[in-house]
Amino acid sequence: MSPSATSDLPISPSPFRPRILVPEKVSADGLALLTDLYEVDIRTGLAPDELISLIPSYQALIVRSETKVTAAVLQAGRKLKVVARAGVGVDNIDVSAATAQGIIVVNSPSGNIVAAAEHTVALLLATARNVGRADGTLKSGKWERARLVGVEVGRKTLGIIGLGKVGMKVARMAIGLGMKVISMDPYASPDLARQAGVALVEKLGDLLPVVDFLTIHTPLLASTLNLLGEAEFQTMKPTARVLNVARGGVYNEDALLKALDEGWIVGAGIDVFTAEPPAPDSSAARLAAHPKVVATPHLGASTVEAQENVSMDVCAQVLEILRGGLPTAAVNAPLILPEEYRKLQPFVRLVERMGSLYTQHFVGGKGGMIGGRRFELVYQGELAGVGNTRPLFAALVKGLVSSISDSGGRDVNIVNATLIAKEKGIIINETHIRESEGLVYASLVTLRSYGTAGEHGDGQKTQVIDGYVSGRNIYISKLDRFAANFTPEGTLVVLHNYDEPGKIGSVGMVLGKHGVNIRFMHVASLDPETKLELARTQSETASESGVSQDKENGNGNRDPANEALMILGVDGGVTKEVLDDLGKPEGILNVSLVRL
Ligand SMILES: NC(=O)C1=CN([C@@H]2O[C@H](COP(=O)(O)OP(=O)(O)OC[C@H]3O[C@@H](n4cnc5c(N)ncnc54)[C@H](O)[C@@H]3O)[C@@H](O)[C@H]2O)C=CC1
Ligand SMILES: O=C(O)C(=O)COP(=O)(O)O
């Protein structure tokens, strides 16, 4: 039998194209990454109930700030794997509902921060110099220079609440304009603030009375909603101007209206509102129309550059998630560093396939169980030095249960993997072996499974799968007791048989008869260790009984040292009938079908 592994054959594209819904204006640059592989439907202006009725057939949803991704939308999205926010703020997405359902939420953490910071500076100068009112009066035929005298921002004090990515950029720009900057952010790094020339204060009370301009750059959270109310505005200088390019609601809108009307402050520059667009006659609408306010319709991120950035960022992540990879900016999943991401990504694919191969080869149709089993993932070589292997843990759970998943057909992912493993009673231990003698691969992953008492079928046996990565390609190097070398991909038929003449011919005939095309064939013989072990036991038995061991002992019990695995990559439907026919010839011990 001559093995011929052709594992790197291209996979034919699936006729089934997963669908992506885009209910908002998202830059075409990123969407172009997706259109070859997926059906991308741009449907702007959907009403909430239209979104709920459409979402069940989509695997991914890409939104900006207008679409409310509520628990009801997520519940209806039975196939959803990812909700991507082409921007920063995810307050329009029910992230906990997504997490509970195993849906990954990703965003673009920094694609639009320059745009948001520049818009803040635009509003800062516009409020200082009455740009909005000046433009309005001139357009209505008036020439009102005397009533439109402004103030300079140079040498004035800017207060920043929230010294994160946008806040810090605003700080640097403001310092460039000659402003003094102080900030309140309980979670900011004092070192970074000092280096940027920003004075950190501990309490709002230390900041509000001394600033000439105030800007907020916090997310909208329960703790930041109504952060500034009447009491706070009353402590500010009557000449102060406030800006909001973060989220409507951080300044209480009623209180802000009152502050402007009562003269507690002199002006405001507002880009965001509690409802967008503001409902007629609401406080938000009155603010937008107020003569002391320069208002923009949530334009912070609306630049060509920012929209290209965020679109590219999130579409690349959607692409990766839909093909089983890891996102780089998941809002509801453990973060991995970019260096780790690059290193781990092929191993994540490998471990997932190893888990799926395990379930389908060792358990599928043999009465075994996954639940209650104990697994060990052993990382050897370079991989043993990676600190955060949580994505690999999750990939194993996903692989193990994906072909037997009872969670409504929804795939397991890095968000809900731990919960699912717990529910199924699967125990996974991870072992890192840094110094491995004689390791031929840069890294080797071993999946070992140990049965627990009281199991059926193969439950008591220890089963092993080894895999490695070469370049970005993944390979299985050991399956059970057999030394292999094949790519775990596509549909595989694994035959456990005695390595005898005529086997390939009979298998080829059966598959040919059923119209199943063979893409590649690989023969795995017993690994050297098992061979040695068998030889040792055989010679012990022989010397005890005084008889030599033949290939076949005449009782139909063939020599176990002559067992092999035939791994066939196939195209076309492999039915139960095909598998039954494959198992019929003499010398075939077992046939399993694995879809990866
Ligand atoms: N108008 C627009 O188009 C845009 C608006 N945004 C908004 O800006 C927000 C901030 O964005 P990034 O700077 O990228 O976020 P970030 O996460 O880098 O920074 C937020 C900062 O707020 C601080 N913070 C949280 N709670 C606080 C509190 N109670 N008091 C003081 N500080 C607090 C955090 O410690 C953090 O440093 C986003 O969440 C989004 O809502 C962002 C981009 C565009
Ligand atoms: O990124 C953010 O948080 C924004 O507020 C930008 O919103 P948008 O994508 O322009 O609807």
CA distance 431 to 437: 16
Using the mean position of ligand 1's atoms as its centre, give its distance from the Cα of residue 166 in Å.
7
Residue nearest to atom 5 of ligand 2 (CA): 89
Residue nearest to atom 42 of ligand 1 (CA): 88
**Are the C-beta atoms of 349 and 474 separated by less than 8 Å?**
yes
112 C-beta closer than 6 A to ligand 2: yes
Residue nearest to atom 7 of ligand 1 (CA): 246
DSSP state of 210: G
Q: What would the DSSP string read from start to end of 67-126?
A: S-B-HHHHHH-TT--EEEESSS--TTB-HHHHHHTT-EEEE-SSTTHHHHHHHHHHHHHH
- List of domains in the chain: 19-110+304-322 (3.40.50.720), 113-295 (3.40.50.720), 338-595 (3.30.1330.90)
Beta-ladder partners of 479: 465, 482
Using the mean position of ligand 1's atoms as its centre, give its distance from the Cα of residue 162 in Å.
6
The per-type count for the chain, helices as H runs and strands as E runs, is 19, 22
What's the mean pLDDT when you consider all of the chain?
Answer: 88
Q: What would the DSSP string read from start to end of 216-265?
A: E-----TTTTT-B-HHHHHTS-TT-EEEESS-TTSB-HHHHHHHHHHTSS
Q: What angle do CA 31, 35, 39 make, to 5 degrees?
A: 110
Predicted pLDDT at 419: 74
Q: What ligand is nearest to the CA atom of residue 25? A: 2
Mutation choice for ligand 1 from 91, 166, 191, CB with most ligand atoms inside 8 A: 166
**Are the C-beta atoms of 395 and 358 separated by less than 8 Å?**
no
Pocket around ligand 1 at a 6 A CB cut-off: 88-89, 112-113, 116, 161-167, 184-188, 217-220, 223-224, 245-247, 271-272, 298, 300-301
pTM, two decimals, is 0.68
Using the mean position of ligand 1's atoms as its centre, give its distance from the Cα of residue 385 in Å.
34
**Are the C-beta atoms of 116 and 144 separated by less than 8 Å?**
no
Predicted pLDDT at 222: 86
87 C-beta closer than 6 A to ligand 2: yes
Question: For the chain (length 596 residues), average pLDDT per consecutive 10?
Answer: 35 67 97 96 97 97 98 96 96 90 90 98 98 96 96 98 96 98 89 94 96 96 93 98 98 98 98 98 98 98 98 97 85 62 85 93 69 88 86 89 52 70 84 87 93 50 92 94 94 90 84 92 89 76 52 51 90 87 88 92
The minimum-distance atom of ligand 2 relative to the CA of 86 is 9
Using the mean position of ligand 1's atoms as its centre, give its distance from the Cα of residue 469 in Å.
40
Predicted pLDDT at 366: 61
Predicted pLDDT at 152: 98
User: Could you report the predicted ipTM of this complex, rounded to two decimals?
Assistant: 0.99
Q: What would the DSSP string read from start to end of 11-48?
A: PPPPS---EEEE-S---HHHHTTTTTTSEEEE-TT--H
Residue nearest to atom 7 of ligand 2 (CA): 65
Mind listing the pLDDT tens digit for each residue in 192-239?
Answer: 899 999 999 999 999 999 999 999 999 998 889 999 999 999 999 999
Q: How many residues does the chain have?
A: 596
Integer CA distances (angstroms), 85 to 78, 274, 310, 317, 392, in order: 19, 19, 8, 11, 25
Active site residues: 247, 276, 298
**Contacts (Cβ under 8 Å, ≥6 apart) of 267:** 127, 241, 242, 260, 292, 293, 294
